[in-house]
Amino acid sequence: MFTAGVGASGWGIPVFGRIEIPVAESITIGGGASFQSNNQRFLNDRWNHSIIGFHGRGSYHFNTILNIPDDFDFYAGASLGYYVWNTTYKGSTPGAVYTGGGNGGANIGIHVGGRYFFGGNQKTALNLEAGGGNVLSAGTIGITFLL
């Protein structure tokens, strides 16, 4: 499966892409990447932040155990990731410019989500997910394509 979409965050609107591969009847593993940016301003000072994240993830899909119809897919799992946070500062004082790293590093996250396959072809789905512990933790919405 390939999913692409947007998320919610206090640091801008992230865009993401991820791939999942089944390794057992109800288990998938995969990974993904995300990007988001945020601009802040106070008087004549400006901060521009960009965050690039990479993660690996695993999910358990509850359809078989809960006898859920094929049009739906409900899952939960965990992820391990790394993100890079770059900041550029331009101050009101002439020559006050800073470009460098901000916060970043490894993170562990959890997620719970669901998909609704529409169109009767079981190849395209609307995906909603919520979680915690990473830069996409406030939630995501996307479209999933079965490959």
* Model confidence, pTM: 0.83
Q: What is the pLDDT of residue 15?
A: 93
CA distance 76 to 98: 41
* Six-digit token string for 46: 């400006």
| Predicted confidence (pLDDT) per residue in 46-79, tens digit | 888 888 999 999 999 999 999 999 899 999 999 9
Per-residue pLDDT tens listing for the chain (147 residues): 999 999 888 778 889 999 999 999 999 999 999 999 888 888 878 888 888 999 999 999 999 999 999 899 999 999 999 988 888 887 776 666 666 666 678 888 899 999 999 977 789 999 999 987 666 667 899 999 998
In Å, what is the CA distance from 11 to each residue of 8, 115, 136?
Answer: 8, 26, 10
